[in-house]
Each structure stands twice: as C-alpha cells, then as structure tokens.
Chain A
Amino acid sequence: MADNMKMRAQLKGDYVEVKVLMSHPMETGRRKADDGNVVPAHFVQLLTATLNGKPVLEAQWGTGVSKNPYLTFRLKGAKLGDKVAVTWHDNLGATATQEIAVTQA
C-alpha cells in the first residue's frame, strides 16, 4: 500500500511541517449506494506518527473526518534527514504505514 499515503516533511525555520494525504473512503455507515443499500461504515480510527521511532502524535478519528483524509502537524526539534513515519488503522483491520525523511522547505 505504498501509494496509499502522500507525505511531505519540510523544515521551516524552527519546526518541521508534516503534511499527509491518505487514500481512504471514510464511509460513515449512513450513506446509501445507488442500489439503495447502506454502505457499511469503513473509516480510519487511529493514526499515529513517530519521529525517529518516538511517538509524537496519536489521533483517534470518527466518521466525521473527510474522505481521503488530510492532515498537517508540526514537530519541534526535528532536523534534516530525521525520519517521520505515519501509520493508520481502520475499523475493518486494514492498515498502512509510510516513512519519509525531513527535507528543506
């Protein structure tokens, strides 16, 4: 699932800005498909981010996060070349991880 996430981590002065765009349907479980059947809930529940393996962010999500979730967060004390990794888990047990290095903005 390498192309599941688009990620960028850029050093901007004294912080690193991480932008993540995930590919996920984020179904609420309330939407009806064209055939009239309800589409079952399918959404990311947990997202974690690490900097060089150390946890920096943990997010719990409900169905109210938009389809193909977008996230920006900022890390103090990160340097060029540091590794930022993001992992998500959804309610159906699927998961994806991506790791990138910090680059200059």
Chain B
Amino acid sequence: MQRRNFLLGLLSAIILAPINAFAAIWNKAAFEAVKLDDASKILDINGETISQQIQITAPDRAENGAIVQVEVRSEIANTEAIAILVEKNPTPLIANFMFSNGAEPFVVTRIKMAETSDIKVVVKAGDQYFTNSRNVVVLENGCN
C-alpha cells in the first residue's frame, strides 16, 4: 500500500511538474536581458579572467547569421558550466550548458547572430569564472 501511494505520488508529480518546474529552472531574467553585462550579472558571473584554456572554434565569416556553428572546449580543471553569449544579439545569452557525471566540458551547437560580434564564452569552475572571446563577421542578420 505504501509503495502504491508512493508510485501514485510520483506519477502525479511527474504529470503536474513539467511546465511549472521548468519555468522555475529556466533563468528567464538572464535570457531576456538585452545587455551582455546584465545577463552576466544575473548569472552571478563576476571577476572572470581571460583564459586561453577555453577554445572557441567558429567561422571567421558567416554568410548567414541564422546558423553559425560554434564549438567550445574547456581545458580548465573542474569545469562545471559553459555559457555562450553573443555581445550584439538582441538578447546576448544564447545557452548555458551544465556538465556532470563524466560529461566532458565540450559542446558543439549552432547559434543565431544578428551582426558582426564577439562570441563570449564563460566557464564556471567552482567559484571561479573564466572567459574567452572570438569575433565572427556576419554578412546577413540571423536574428529574425
């Protein structure tokens, strides 16, 4: 009986949780911030030091800003999270990846870029933040 109650409880939690739970997890303020510095502040990023141990691979020039493939690799010990920001996008915060249980601090994804801009990557390792940037020339706005 106890187990059944537990399972029922679990089931209803799964059914009821989705929208609210994820709305709570998703960092609305950071993703809606229109200035890179504001997004960084909301993410509690501070005192980040520039590090060449963050490698950003992206094209020098992007014909179409709607699809810019970016590869990010961190060689910083204990990297927990990688955030990707585009300084001149309408909302600079693109994505924040959090790694655990053996996931390597490595990610490849495709992002939108409104105009020529720096792609800024911020790595969180413990209480410390590290950053590196890479400029991409964008020929056609991809942020519609």
Q: Give chain A's interface residues, CB within 8 Å of chain B.
A: 15, 28, 30-32, 45-46, 49, 51, 54-67, 69-78, 89, 93, 95
List CB contacts (< 8 Å) of B83-106 with chain A: 86, 89-104, 106
Interface Cβ pair total, 8 Å cutoff: 117
Residues of A within 8 A of B67 (CB): 66-67
Q: Give chain B's interface residues, CB within 8 Å of chain A.
A: 18-19, 22, 25-27, 31-32, 66-69, 71, 86, 89-104, 106-112, 142-144
**A to B CB contacts below 8 Å, 10 in the list:** A28-B90, A49-B103, A58-B97, A60-B25, A64-B111, A67-B66, A69-B110, A70-B69, A70-B110, A75-B103
By the criterion CB–CB under 8 Å, are B102 and A65 in contact?
A: no
| One of B90, B104, B107 near A30 (C-beta < 8 A) | B90
| One of B19, B93, B107, B143 near A28 (C-beta < 8 A) | B143
Closest B residue by C-beta to A60: B96
By the criterion CB–CB under 8 Å, are A77 and B26 in contact?
A: no
| One of A30, A55, A64, A75 near B94 (C-beta < 8 A) | A64
Residues of A within 8 A of B95 (CB): 59-62, 64-65
Distance of B86 from chain A, by nearest CB (Å): 6
Closest B residue by C-beta to A70: B110
Closest B residue by C-beta to A15: B104
By the criterion CB–CB under 8 Å, are A89 and B108 in contact?
A: no
Q: Given the known A-B contacts A46-B22, A66-B67, A72-B108, are A59 and B91 also in contact in the complex, defined by CB atoms under 8 Å?
A: no
How long is the Cα–Cα vector from A67 to B144 in the complex, in angstroms? Answer: 11
By the criterion CB–CB under 8 Å, are A76 and B102 in contact?
A: yes
Residues of A within 8 A of B90 (CB): 28, 30
Residues of A within 8 A of B109 (CB): 65-66, 69-72
How long is the Cα–Cα vector from A70 to B68 in the complex, in angstroms? Answer: 11
Closest B residue by C-beta to A55: B100
Residues of B within 8 A of A95 (CB): 18
4 shortest interchain CB distances as A-B pairs: A72-B108, A64-B94, A62-B31, A66-B110
By the criterion CB–CB under 8 Å, are B99 and A57 in contact?
A: yes
Other than A30-B143, A64-B95, A74-B104, give 7 A-B pairs with Cβ distance below 8 A.
A46-B26, A57-B97, A70-B109, A72-B71, A73-B106, A75-B102, A75-B103
